[in-house]
Chains A and B, each alone.
Chain A
Amino acid sequence: MTTAKSAKQVVKLRAALRDREARVHELEERLAALENSTTMQFGRVFAAAARRPARGAVRLPRQLYRLWRRRDSPQTRPNGERRAYFDLAGLPRPEDRLLLAGPTDALTIAGVFGPGCQDTAAGCARVVSLLPHDAALALETADADLLIVDAAAGAAGGAWAYLGEPGVYDREQALGALMEMARDRGLPVVLWDETRSGEEPGAAPPGLARLDWTATGSPGVSLRRFNPVGVIPRDTVPVVVEPLGGSARVPPGVRRAAADIAAAIGARTVACDPRTLPDLLRRSAITLALAPSQVPEQLAAGALVLCPEPVTERLPADLREHVYTVAEGGAARPLSGGAEGTVPVAALAAAAGGHDPRPALRTLFLRYATPVRLAALCESLGLRADPLHERRVAVLAHVADAADARRLVAGLLAQILRPAEAIVTGPGAAVAAAELAERDIAAPGSATRARSAWVAPWPARGEVPATHLADLVCAAECSGADAVGGGGGEDAPYTFVTDIEPALVRRERYVSGGLPTEWATQGARLLAL
């Protein structure tokens, strides 16, 4: 419904309400008159007498005489004063939601989510999950920035089961009303389709695919959900996970290839609910992907990912680098970085043991992670929220002179995750600040004045790799750590410890001061790399 139509509707409803109010008022008047009428009182007197005949026989004549005497006397209004004029200004209005306070910088998503999807969004936005019976009410008070509908919301085993399936009227109607309400509020309505991967079209059910969406996108992968950090020893029996919606929807060619590969490598096939999928993947050293959309989550969980050729062919190029394509006969070979050559089946377990998930995580962090996808969505929709806020880093550096400052600036600009702020001290600070300001890197002067989520002391010596900040923030995003740094033993990297040499620290923690050992005792989670 358009705003103009809504306004007309409101006017009509108000008129109807006024009319109804007038009728109620009239009926109240008539009822009062009736209750005060002699006829009514006459009836009451007789009824009371009939209920208690003995007493009634005595009182009845007296009461009747009293009634007769007062028959022409004016009656007083029972409620005392005349009812106040009905004032519509006192009625609740939809606009009253503007008065509700709920301070937050975070993107606020109202969502119709399928199993697992809410967890994906929750890491980088405030999420209001809508149910079929409370959707309108919850959206009204949510102060949402946008409405997201998960293409998998209609999966069985969830509150919106069968949404989008033709013929399921009540769910379709509930969603229609919700979308109309969102549009009336000016909220973008977005279809989120997890099965979209690169150029591959999504698998949204027909009843959703045909609706009029402001935008359509993929939620990407939540590194926090699939966190590969701190995993117990992984099971080296390869796992094949049936995609959401059942095995039957895997193209026959892929199904045949996967079956051959699974037999060759001794893989087990698992049907898994999206809510328990992260646990399964984190426990698995080797996975076999049946669809391109499964690849990011399996890489994010740190597994060594195998793909049948038809799946690899449909992967975006930057993901192909991180999977092993299995040719006929079950031999695995890396598609890129061919120095490793062919990996025989027998050596898969060994290869998984030495598997380094970080390059894949870096790719996911930069291009496939949910905050990145949400940020792109916000930008395209013109929303003011910043889902990448949790990735903003303020670098702390000391520069001895101008040359040192220029080296710092070059190092920072080379980072694949550029810092948002730089707190530079020392004689070359002014030079650094001026050069960084030209590149939109703010120089707040002190950590207390910084606005970034993180503070990262810049290494004083040696060459700093371009991936330095990205890897630190990626590790923090995956693990949910409050501080990341060196200090763990060589034999147990990526573990939570009680003391570290901080390389990345939550700004609030840094500003509060103290030693890392004290942070740990105060409940902070310290991740040693």
Chain B
Amino acid sequence: MRPRALVYGDVDLNLIDGSAIWAQAMVQALAQAGCAVTLVLKAPVRTARLVDPLAGLPEVTVRRPHLEGLTEPDQSMSPRRAVRVLTAIDAERPYDLIVIRGRQLAHLLAHSPLAGRLWTYLTDVPQSAAEFTGARRGELKRIARASRFLLCQTEELRCFLESAVPATAGKCVLFPPVVVLPDELEPAPAPSPSPAASSAAERAVVRSAPLKLVYTGKFAPRWNTYEMTGLPRRLAAAGVPAELHMIGDKIHRDPADPGFTKRMRAALEFTTGVVWHGGHPRGEAMRLSAECDIALSWRDADLDTSLELSTKVLECGALGVPVVLNRTPMHERLLGADYPLFAATEDDVVDVLTAAGADPRTYALARDRCLAAAAGFSLDAAADRLTRYLRRAFPARRTEHAADTRRLRVGVAGHDLKFFSALLDYLKSRSDMEVRVDHWPALKVHDPKRSKEIAEWADVVVCEWCGPNAVWYAKHKRPGQRLVVRLHRFELYASWPGRLDIDAVDAVICVSPHYAELTRKITGWPESKVVVVPNWVDVDQLHRPKLEGVQHHIGFIGMAPSRKRLDVALDVLEELRRDDPRFTLFVKSKLPWDYWWIWQKDEERAHFEEVFRRVRRSPALAGAVVFDPFGPDVGAWLRRIGFVLSTSDDESFHLAPAEGMASGAIPALLNWPGADTIYDPHWIHATPAAMAASISATVRDGLWDDERRLAHAQVRDSYALDKVCAQFAGLLTGVTNVHGQYT
């Protein structure tokens, strides 16, 4: 069965602007991704140019609240009204996902029955730390809690939000602008796959005799539109005949510059070499743009910190019209740092236009880059993205159970579910399972009434941690009920496994073969009961483009207790910095004194006193160790990390290197017991010196990219969330046996 999607963009589809195009693209992409889509219109239809083509698509329904009597017939819906209408439409037959755009609307819906199913597209959010007030943070927190996904336009916005509002971490996914060209326009042919192989003459693109520049959009001071009108004159002086085509009719009134409107209009009307086309519908504006050689998107430096991407830049790229734009980190990642049409000042603009006008190779390079960049923003790419998110949100759609079969009842009991949260989400999202949680307030504290209810109700009980919860459920288990216990390193050396009635337990899950073996040895439990289901890594969430220069950034996640051996990581860092002072260690962790139960131990204190003394005093480490705050924004943090260390004395799995691998970093482990049963020995080193030598050689010899690709492939193959979830679910349903074999 197709997932049912409700789309409301808080946008007026009578006006063909960027937000209307977003709504159109979202509906098309969702339909292409396999959803049955219902689009709710904000405003009564005055022009059907956008709406009718959508209504004609298969599996797309357009709801017109104004005609259906759900709202005033002749008024656009306010966000409050929209909440009422959307809630009413959903109540008719609940939707699986509700895609919305607009912060205010999202905030209102966060308190509606639609909460939990929202896929919120965020645009009007703070874009700098200074803009984050407490109120704004709280609002976003509530929106995040009510949303299944937060759709972010760029990776920069996604990372920014995850770091600023921890509740958004794990929910932010990318949904970049979608480039949809009007029907009458064809995308430009794709660039040559190996431009280097083509001769300059082959790659040169025929341009018009005067260089035709184009700008579309509003005329405003920070958009440098007035300065642009001087370009034909300056280019002529540089020996490049040029004309500038300006498309648009909105001249901004700027209180800070009252003379701007008059000055801008005069420049548009009377400047030699400037052709003012006035306002045009989007399709016509794009047709005019396609006839020009180079588009201008050069703006005031104030706008360089934007976390959003200009759709117009991408549209021009798709038309084969290269764009002059500001050099920003985001644009560098999009077009390459050596893109030839970056400009900061008016002189720069003249320089790059002169170069592009005079040199066909430069022009061809710019055009190829823009075309290639735009290709990643097609409707197909958007549909692919949504397909992945749908698969994640509704993992068991492929195996719909028959309506008359009872769903498997799964009870989950534990005091701390942080290591189980992804599995829990997965189990909850399966249509063939029903999940209830017995959340123990503390390790030894529970509500016996609630636990009894779960014990009586569930077909399978999963105890997260082999603690008092497992002991209790083993004692109160019903005949025929399955009991599965997840055992971590922490409990193995405590007394609870000794008190567990193993005969009542169907399977004890360990995360590594080494710990499974240890468990058998220490407890004497039958081999058949102890099974390995590895920890999982959310590869899709963590896999993000690395920032420039991360090869010298070493990551260390979680420094306490002392067995994590931050001191050994310092040994490695000191070795590395002997050759190259760029190596820097970033430690993402709570500080040891933040864990009272660790800090109260004398030996732990002594260890960390010495470690921090060394960080403070060692000349080799001066300024080379940074303690980053603990938080769920690991995905954003790992963008800055090139290697992730694991120097512990002992671990049951150690997720940090696996997370690093998922992110595209290289793991470096010491040979703690069992490390080789989890990680490829390729990443395991005999000593800190050997580890440092390997890291150093990897960077020095230019192997970092190849190695990290290998690491990523390994973690995706072995520990990707979907694979581990399927293995775990198989254990619950009895599809797989305790050895992970399908029955």
Q: Using a CB–CB distance below 8 Å, which chain A residues touch chain B?
A: 115, 118, 129, 131-133, 155-159, 161-162, 165-170, 172-173, 176, 201, 205-207, 209-210, 246-249, 251-253, 273, 275-276
Inter-chain contact B127/A166, CB cutoff 8 Å = yes
B655 within 8 A of A: no
Partner of A273, one of B129, B330, B338, B582: B582
Task: Please tell me if B519 contacts chain A, counting CB pairs below 8 Å.
Answer: no
**Given the complex, which residues of B lie within 8 Å of A158, measured CB to CB?**
582, 584, 623
Given A169-B129, A201-B344, A206-B301, does the pair A133, B337 have CB atoms closer than 8 Å? no
Does B304 sit within 8 A of A, measured CB to CB? yes
Complex alpha-carbon distance, A168 and B305, angstroms: 11
CB of B38 closer than 8 Å to a CB of A: no
A166 touches B306 (CB 8 A): yes
Q: In the bound complex, what is the Cα–Cα distance between A33 and B672 (angstroms)?
A: 52
Q: How many residues of B contact A (CB 8 A)?
A: 54
CA distance A273 to B549 in the complex (A): 12
Cβ of A152 to closest chain B Cβ, rounded Å = 12
Option from B351, B553, B622 in Cβ contact (under 8 Å) with A253: B351
Contact of B163 among A165, A170, A207 (CB under 8 A): A170
Tell me, in angstroms, the Cα distance from A273 to B552 when the chains sit together: 12
- Give 11 pairs: A residue, B residue, CB < 8 Å, sorted on A: A157-B553, A157-B584, A162-B547, A166-B304, A166-B329, A169-B636, A173-B164, A206-B301, A248-B332, A273-B580, A275-B581
Q: Which residues of B pack against A, CB within 8 Å? A: 127-130, 154-157, 159-160, 163-164, 301-302, 304-307, 327-330, 332, 336-338, 340, 344-345, 348, 351-352, 355, 362, 547-550, 552-553, 580-584, 622-624, 626-629, 636, 640
Residues of B within 8 A of A155 (CB): 549
Residues of A within 8 A of B160 (CB): 166-169
The answer to whether A168 touches B552 (Cβ under 8 A) is: no
Q: Within the assembled complex, what's the spacing in Å between the Cα atoms of A206 and B584? A: 24
How many Å from the CB of A150 to the closest CB on chain B?
12
Residues of B within 8 A of A205 (CB): 329
Q: Are A248 and B549 in contact (CB under 8 A)?
A: no
Which residues does chain B contribute within 8 Å of A253, judged by CB atoms? 351, 355
Question: CA–CA, A249 to B348, complex, Å?
Answer: 12
Let me know if B305 and A170 touch, CB within 8 A: no
A246 touches B584 (CB 8 A): no
Q: A166-B307, A166-B330, A167-B155 are in contact. List 19 more A-B contacts (CB 8 A).
A: A129-B622, A156-B553, A158-B582, A159-B623, A159-B626, A162-B640, A166-B160, A166-B305, A168-B159, A169-B159, A170-B163, A176-B130, A201-B344, A206-B301, A207-B128, A207-B305, A209-B304, A246-B337, A252-B352
Q: A418 vs B623: C-alpha distance in the bound complex, in angstroms?
A: 39
Inter-subunit contact B302/A210 (CB<8 Å)? yes
Structural contact, B156 and A156, CB atoms closer than 8 A: no
Q: Is the CB of B302 within 8 A of A157?
A: no
Q: Is the beta-carbon distance between A167 and B307 smaller than 8 angstroms?
A: yes
CB closest residue in chain A, given B348: A251
Interchain CA distance A166-B327 in the complex, whole Å: 12
- Report A-chain residues with C-beta under 8 Å of the C-beta of B549: 155-157, 161
User: For residue A118, which residue of chain B has the nearest CB?
Assistant: B623
Bound together, the chains give a CA A168 to CA B157 distance in angstroms of: 9
With known contacts A162-B640, A169-B164, A251–B129 Cβ distance under 8 A = no
On whether the beta carbons of B157 and A167 are closer than 8 Å, the reply is yes
Q: In whole Å, how far is B368's beta carbon from the nearest beta carbon of chain A? A: 15
CA–CA, A192 and B583, complex, Å: 24
Q: Which of A133, A162, A210, A252 contacts B627 (CB 8 A)?
A: A133
Q: Which residues of the partner chain B approach A170 to less than 8 Å between Cβ atoms?
A: 163, 628-629
Complex: chain A residue closest to B355, CB-CB:
A252
Report whether B129 and A172 are in contact in the complex, using a CB–CB cutoff of 8 Å: yes
Name the CB-closest residue of B to A155.
B549
In the complex, the answer to whether A169 meets B640 with C-beta atoms within 8 Å is no
- The distance from the CB of A392 to the nearest CB of chain B, in whole angstroms, is 31
How far, in whole Å, are A221 and B132 apart by their CA atoms in the complex? 38
The minimal Cβ–Cβ distance linking B359 to chain A, given in whole angstroms, is 8
Bound Cα distance from A148 to B680, whole angstroms: 46
Partner of A172, one of B128, B154, B547: B128
Which residue of chain A lies nearest to B591 when distances are taken between CB atoms in the complex?
Answer: A133
**Could you tell me the distance between the alpha carbons of A285 and B720 in the complex, rounded to whole angstroms?**
55
Are A173 and B129 touching (Cβ within 8 A)? yes
Pairwise interchain contact A157-B129, C-beta atoms closer than 8 A:
no
Cα–Cα distance between A157 and B329 once the two chains are bound (Å) = 17
By a CB distance below 8 angstroms, the chain B residues around A131 are 623, 626
The residue of chain B having its C-beta at the shortest distance from the C-beta of A248 within the complex is: B337
Question: Once bound together, how far apart are the Cα atoms of A37 and B155, in whole Å?
Answer: 61
Q: Which residues of B contact A248 (CB under 8 A)?
A: 332, 336-338
Shortest C-beta distance, B522 to chain A (Å), equals 28
Chain A min CB distance to B555 (Å):
12
Given contacts A167-B157, A170-B163, A201-B344, contact A159 B581 (CB under 8 A): no
Which residue of chain A lies nearest to B338 when distances are taken between CB atoms in the complex? A248
How many Å lie between the Cα of A131 and that of B628 in the bound state?
A: 10
| A492 and B663 alpha carbons, distance in the complex (Å) | 57
> In the complex where A161-B640, A165-B329 touch, is A273 in contact with B581 (Cβ < 8 A)?
yes
- Shortest B261–chain A CB gap in Å is 25
Interface centre among A168, A209, A246 (most CB of B within 10 A): A168
Q: Report the minimal beta-carbon distance from A174 to chain B, rounded to whole angstroms.
A: 9
Set of chain B residues within 8 Å of A133, measured between Cβ atoms: 626-628
Nearest CB in chain A: distance from B620 CB, A: 13
A1 to B321, CA, bound (A): 47
A168 to B351, CA, bound (A): 31
A201 touches B304 (CB 8 A): no
Q: Taking each of A132, A158, A207, which has the highest tally of chain B beta carbons within 10 Å of its own beta carbon? A: A158
Q: Which residues does chain B contribute within 8 Å of A206, judged by CB atoms?
A: 301, 304-305, 328-329
Whether B159 contacts A156 by the Cβ 8 Å rule is no
Distance, CA A275 to CA B578, complexed state (A): 12
Contact B547 A169 (CB under 8 A): no
Please determine whether B129 and A167 come into contact, CB atoms closer than 8 angstroms: no
A58 → B minimal CB distance (Å): 31
How many Å from the CB of B419 to the closest CB on chain A? 25
Residues of B within 8 A of A209 (CB): 301, 304
A386 to chain B: closest CB distance in Å?
Answer: 27
The residue on B at minimum CB distance from A211 is B130
Cα(A166)–Cα(B159), bound, Å: 10
